[in-house]
């Protein structure tokens, strides 16, 4: 059975989320390094960002996602394009990858919550 592609009608495809396993194996810094390498594979080398054209070309050539439509690619760019410049910079790409991984987002929230509680919890006990 084919995995549905992300589209405006079906923005949440069924796929196995490998990011939590990667994060567990590589650690936080290792995962960010791998995301940065992925960004470099997909970006337009001259512009230093992922453009519609570079994602369209490289998603097929590098990732083997040749069946993506122009609407699919446009939707992916729009989903992560926080500054609305029509492209994804490295930070937008990494944030998008985290957002697309619900389990990784949950784990990230736990780490941030623990850090906040540790930092502010210690301060409230000192006074």
Q: Torsions phi, psi of 14, nearest 5?
A: -85, 115
pLDDT tens-digit profile of 82-113?
Answer: 999 999 999 999 888 888 777 766 665 665 66
pLDDT tens-digit profile of 35-78?
Answer: 899 999 999 999 999 999 999 999 878 777 777 889 989 999 99
**Hey, what domains does the chain have and what are their CATH numbers?**
48-106 (1.10.238.10)
pTM of the model: 0.65
Annotate 20-42 with DSSP letters as a single string.
HHHHHHHHHHHHHHHHHHHHHHH
58: left (phi over 0), alpha (psi -120 to 50) or beta: alpha
DSSP state of 18: -
């Amino acid at each position: 059975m084919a995995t549905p592609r992300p589209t405006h009608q079906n923005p949440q495809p069924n796929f196995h989320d490998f990011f939590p396993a990667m994060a567990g194996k590589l650690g936080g810094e290792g995962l960010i390094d791998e995301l940065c390498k992925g960004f470099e594979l997909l970006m337009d080398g001259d512009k230093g960002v992922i453009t519609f054209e570079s994602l369209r070309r490289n998603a097929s050539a590098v990732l083997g996602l040749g069946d993506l439509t122009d609407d699919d690619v446009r939707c992916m760019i729009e989903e992560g394009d926080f500054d609305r410049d029509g492209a994804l910079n490295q930070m937008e790409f990494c944030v998008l990858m985290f957002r697309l991984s619900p389990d990784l987002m949950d784990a990230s929230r736990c780490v941030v919550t623990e850090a906040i509680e540790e930092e502010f919890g210690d301060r409230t006990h000192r006074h």
